[in-house]
Structure 1
Amino acid sequence: MSVDKFIQKPLSENMKQEAPDHDIVMSTRVRLARNLKDLPFQLLITDSQAEEVIKRMEETLRRKPPAFIKSLELIRIDPLSPLERKVLVEKHLISPFLAEEARKGAVILSDNEEVSIMLNEEDHIRIQTLLPGFQLEEAWEHANLIDDWIEEEMDYAFDDRRGYLTSCPTNTGAGIRASVMLHLPALVMTKQINRILGAVNQVGLVVRGVYGEGSEAQGNLFQISNQITLGLAEEEIIDNLRGVVRQIIDHERAAREMLKNSMPLQLADRIYRSFGLLRYARSMETKEATSLLSDVLLGVDLGLIEGIPSAELNELWVMIQPGYVQTYFAQPMTAEERDEKRATLIREQLQKYFI
């Protein structure tokens, strides 16, 4: 199957839809880790056994999937170029591990990119559902339906006392990792972010960067997810995460209101300066671009900048990443060339709203 249709557009139409709390929550993801009971886990698996995982999933694909899925395509990772893999990571359709380290890796993607089933990643099967905005229950419900669909054909590695057995002990148990990507510029500006995130770590949740474990936060984006799966039911994990994220959303909204009321001139000046740089700069690194884009997105959400849909800025967030810049201009580039082309791309995209 061709990967082209999944890398040509920075965001699927599904991810551009208006969703609950979309002004603060960029996306919601639920991921389930599963292994097959009759095959060695990834650390000891052979190439032929890894191929067997893919073969069994191909057989499962012949069955009708859950009703909410229109179609699924299996894409093998090995034939993909490094650039194609990078774009899939930037779009959160595969993990950095699957792109760089997996043996005989593959991914099954739905047309609308809501569903991503990674094969031979850290575990045999990683089921992922990705939705816009704050939709934890919906993402969990869809992941659970896919899990049941697969389990009708395969026997998972499961222990009555420990739950689902996984390569990493932290996933053993429910095997679920639920996460919410939050845009928190006001908490950063008001210097409340460290206190808020410190409290998150004390209630069994973890804060990660844009691309998960080991990555850094970019553009005031923070990924909040559960850390513990052993001894907890999936619904408990979802409920706990939902409650904490709801509090963070409330804190961010209060911080935005405080900035508007206590320092309106300074806030507007910062947002419009960032907007001006994005509209006219001739060279721009990724880190700077995401920081400026964060300010502009805040300006749009607060009504200070009109005429630009927030969904278009979310799409631009993907387009300015290193892999997508090279894909957009259809050529490999040095870091310096990427910085120049990134600035060009941003100017072109923003110019559409000011003709």
Structure 2
Amino acid sequence: MSGEPFPEIKSKHSLVAKYVTQPIWEKLSSVVTKTSGFTLAKAISCAVEYDDQHCGIYAGDWDSYKDFADVFDPLIQDYHGISADAVHTSDMDASKIQGTIDPSAPVHSTRIRVGRNIDGFGLSPGITKDQRLGVEGLMKKAFANLTGDLAGTYYPLTGMEEKVRQQLVDDHFLFVSGDKNLITAGMERDWPEGRGIFHNKEKTFLTWVNEEDQLRIISMQKGGDVKAVFDRLARGIQAVQDSVKKESGKDFMLDAKYGFIHSCPTNLGTGMRASVHVDLPGYTKEGVDALKARCEALKLQPRGTRGESGGQTGVTYDISNKHRLGYSEVELVQCMIDGVNTLVKEDIELQKKHGL
């Protein structure tokens, strides 16, 4: 059978536009993946639909990275700045982290998240309804095995009382529907069935089920004790992984080259975002461009505190590691700690400069 005609890619400057060429399209457009029946057309739907994509591609299952490697490989190397023969090393040993964020720094909170996906099920853009419910069913059993400070409760979105849902949203714990990219990429099919959130009693260890990845595992707390947050995350991931294996014999998708497999190639590798909310009044006066440039040099990424597209209010910024792939988790957390300490020190000088 012949594939569909070569699509018009609206995001002309996206990585998809660069790597999905006519010959590649002719070669791959009729390929259908085994796990979830995904196609290249589905993978690049955001770049075709919208003109604002930088990357513009999602994977529907682990097979997508293999079956559409002619697109994914060069695109991933380009985005992450890795060589064609790079391999990924994971390291979750919290004892290797040196120092901590200066206790006098104006840090409100610390949050570290990773994505994980379980082998044998599709990734969110391609996952079938049965697979999604299978992931949720497995996780309900796995969560029940967690003990100590990790023990908690799973709250399914289906049938959730509005009061409970609103509280979780207000606490910044719960993901919400309506992101145009996730919708176009197919991640909100059958919403909200098969989705939910697990958290421990203290709300310092959380897992989202079946959002952008099958699992988003999150460790967070008030203040700037990054090491404690990372240590809990490492223990939590291990406990979830052991529990999933015990219940199903299945393991997380882990690729020698690309590390932990995620639905979005920008998250490959560690899939980790280690961040703090910190006040930077000096940099605010100096201008957001100065902060962006400085963060770039420190391998950090600044965001407003209302999330990726929420914009900026006041002097509080969300500062996180910029990289995901090509560095271990320990290296990225260390980079964030050291970088935030540098920014806070420089901010004090800028406050003096601006007479704050």
Q: TM-score range by the shorter chain?
A: 0.5 to 0.7
Q: TM-score, normalised by structure 1?
A: 0.61
**Any residues of structure 2 matched to 1:1-355 within 5 Å, and which?**
21=103, 24-65=106-147, 67-69=148-150, 71-80=151-160, 84-96=164-176, 101=188, 103=192, 104-154=194-244, 155-188=251-284, 190-256=285-351, 262=355
Describe the SS at the equivalent of 2:243.
coil
Q: Distance in 1 between matches of 2:162 and 2:146?
A: 32
Change (3 A) 1:57 1:77: same
Q: Distance in 2 between matches of 1:210 and 1:85?
A: 21
Check whether the contact 1:209–1:221 (CA below 8 A) recurs between aligned residues. Answer: yes
Q: Distance in 2 between matches of 1:234 and 1:73?
A: 27
Q: Distance in 2 between matches of 1:130 and 1:61?
A: 18
CA deviation vs aligned residue, 1:205-253 (integer Å, no higher than 9, x gap): 2212223211212222211112321111111101111111011111233
Partner of 2:73: none
Q: Aligned letter for 1:160? A: A
CA RMSD between the two structures: 2.5
Q: Aligned letter for 1:242? A: I
Q: Aligned letter for 1:94? A: L
Aligned length: 240
Q: Distance in 2 between matches of 1:211 and 1:86?
A: 16
Q: Distance in 1 between matches of 2:327 and 2:143?
A: 31
Q: Aligned letter for 1:214? A: S
Unmatched 5+ residue regions in structure 1? Answer: 1-18, 268-355
Q: Distance in 1 between matches of 2:200 and 2:286?
A: 40
Change (3 A) 1:253 1:203: closer
Q: TM-score, normalised by structure 2?
A: 0.61
Q: Distance in 2 between matches of 1:175 and 1:98?
A: 22
Check whether the contact 2:121–2:127 (CA below 8 A) recurs between aligned residues. Answer: yes
Change (3 A) 1:89 1:68: same
CA deviation vs aligned residue, 1:53-75 (integer Å, no higher than 9, x gap): 1111111123243x333x30111
Check whether the contact 1:31–1:177 (CA below 8 A) recurs between aligned residues. Answer: yes
Q: Distance in 2 between matches of 1:225 and 1:126?
A: 17
Compute the displacement of 1:106 (Å): 0.3
Q: Aligned letter for 2:309? A: G
Check whether the contact 1:22–1:133 (CA below 8 A) recurs between aligned residues. Answer: no
Structure 1, 155-164 or 203-212: larger mean CA deviation = 203-212
Q: Distance in 2 between matches of 1:86 and 1:232?
A: 37
Seq. identity, %: 23
Change (3 A) 1:215 1:83: farther
Unmatched 5+ residue regions in structure 2? Answer: 1-100, 245-250
Check whether the contact 2:205–2:218 (CA below 8 A) recurs between aligned residues. Answer: yes
Judging by fraction of residues, say which structure has more helix.
1
